[in-house]
Amino acid sequence: MPHITIQHFPVDLAPDQRQRLADTLTAIVVDSFGTYEGAVSIALEPVEPGDWAGTVYEPRIAARPDLLIKAPEYRS
């Protein structure tokens, strides 16, 4: 505890970008939840744009607004 899953459109992150993302998120989670670095896990889950609505938006965002701490503001 805690575990973060980032669902995103496919993008190639260089190893240093992945590490910087992991370090930044870990530091924020440790501070916010009062835990330690070793308790934090982070996963990256690419989702194809055509699958986004059915795989992510509808079941994980629209259906559970009470869990969001920031709602999306998609651009047209």
Is 65 considered catalytic here?
A: no
Domains annotated on the chain, with CATH: 3-67 (3.30.429.10)
- How do residues 4-47 score in pLDDT, each as one tens digit? 999 999 999 999 999 999 999 999 999 999 999 999 999 999 99
DSSP letters, 27-69, are HHHHHHHT--GGG-EEEEEE--GGGHIIIIIIIIIIT-GGG-S
Write down the catalytic residue from 2, 46, 59, 72.
2
What is the value of pTM for the model shown? 0.91
Structure tokens at 60: 């994980």
Q: Which residues does 9 contact at the CB level (< 8 Å), separation at least 6?
A: 46, 47, 48, 49, 52
